[in-house]
Chain A
Amino acid sequence: MTVHDVKATIRSGNTFAEESSKMLRQVKDRLTETAILAHETLHNSHDQDVDAGLQLLVRVERTLDETIEILREAVGHAETFTRDLG
């Protein structure tokens, strides 16, 4: 494998990471709408399952944000390596 090949492989990895990040952002946008719909529908319900479901949606939104950030950092680290390759 040449330096050129290594750089190309990393670029390909970055593309996959960015694409997955884009997909997760789309999921996040749609999930926000879903959470609003769920909150509106289940407003004033004190059911345990409802509470658990709504809490999970909040955790999903938070984890999605975190994952998008992690992927952004992954690409940043990979680019640092590419730069150091010269």
Chain B
Amino acid sequence: MSDASLAGVVAQLSDVRRRLATAAVDVTRARAEISQADSRYAEAAGDSRHPGIRQALAHVRWASANALTIARFLEQARHHFTCYLERIVPGAAQDDASVGLPDGELLLVQVRERSDLRSGMDAFIGRTFRNIENYQDSGRSTGEITGNTIRIVRAPRRPNGGKYIGTASPAVVPTPHHIDVPEAAGHLVVLGLLVGIAAQRLSHVTRREIARFRRRGHQKRTD
């Protein structure tokens, strides 16, 4: 077999594997719809022993079990083709998340992660300001502020069980930080500087925008 025809086999088998992965995801989605049907029928059935609704419930549960079997078969078939591909051209089967999930799924995971990161940052900002207030009463809170800063910067919150797509390091298990008063004061100074820079930037942008609007208004009047 020539290299060109082997390359063709690799390309086509890779396509088959990708299609099987997509099919498995689609079947899982269909199963989620079946679960919705199940819960609607169960809600409607209540305590009724009517054979119609009981049969409907039994059937959707059967369909759900079948959908699970189909998704498993698809994954197994994909695995067999992957093994074959690896045997004929070692390294040809990149068995990673990007092959296992269709583009749409990757996108969803990334959107979810961004959303989680955003809410994590919002929560962090809220906590930081609360902590600064508390610091006036107790120097102990400074350690928490710094601890939160480190935790948020190092490990943004991510969905449970979701695959992480990105270049950041894996989640760091939070460890208690013991911080003494001079160190805490140093962190506060840094924090103050950051807030100052942010305020300066904001005022600069605001001034620029106001000037732009004024110019535009002036232009309209002269036109």
Residues of A within 8 A of B (CB): 1, 6, 9-10, 12-14, 16-17, 19-20, 23-24, 26-27, 30-31, 33-34, 37-38, 40-42, 45, 47, 49-50, 52-54, 56-57, 59-60, 63-64, 66-67, 70-71, 73-75, 77-81, 84
Contact = CB atoms under 8 A, between A and B. Distances in A.
12 contacts: A12-B40, A13-B37, A17-B37, A20-B31, A20-B34, A23-B29, A45-B84, A50-B81, A53-B77, A53-B81, A74-B55, A78-B41
A74 B63 contact: yes
A74 B65 CA distance: 14
Given A6-B44, A27-B26, A60-B77, A77 B52 contact: yes
Given A20-B30, A54-B77, 9 more contacts: A6-B44, A12-B40, A13-B60, A30-B22, A60-B70, A63-B73, A70-B66, A71-B59, A84-B50
Interface stretch (B10-18, B103-111, B180-188, B201-209): B10-18
Nearest to B36: A16
A13 to B, nearest CB: 3
A74 B19 CA distance: 29
Interface of B: 9, 12-13, 15-16, 19-20, 22-23, 26-27, 29-31, 33-34, 36-41, 43-44, 46, 48, 50-53, 55-56, 59-60, 62-63, 66-67, 69-70, 73-74, 76-78, 80-81, 83-84, 87
B79 to A, nearest CB: 8
A13 B44 contact: yes
Interface of A is mostly: helix
B23 A50 contact: no
A8 B84 CA distance: 51
B53 A81 contact: yes
B60 A71 contact: yes
B73 A59 contact: yes
Contacts of A75: 56
B67 A24 contact: yes
Nearest to B53: A81
Contact of B56 (A52, A64, A81): A81
B46 A1 contact: yes
A59 to B, nearest CB: 6
Contacts of B48: 81
Given A10-B41, A13-B40, A67-B63, A78 B33 contact: no
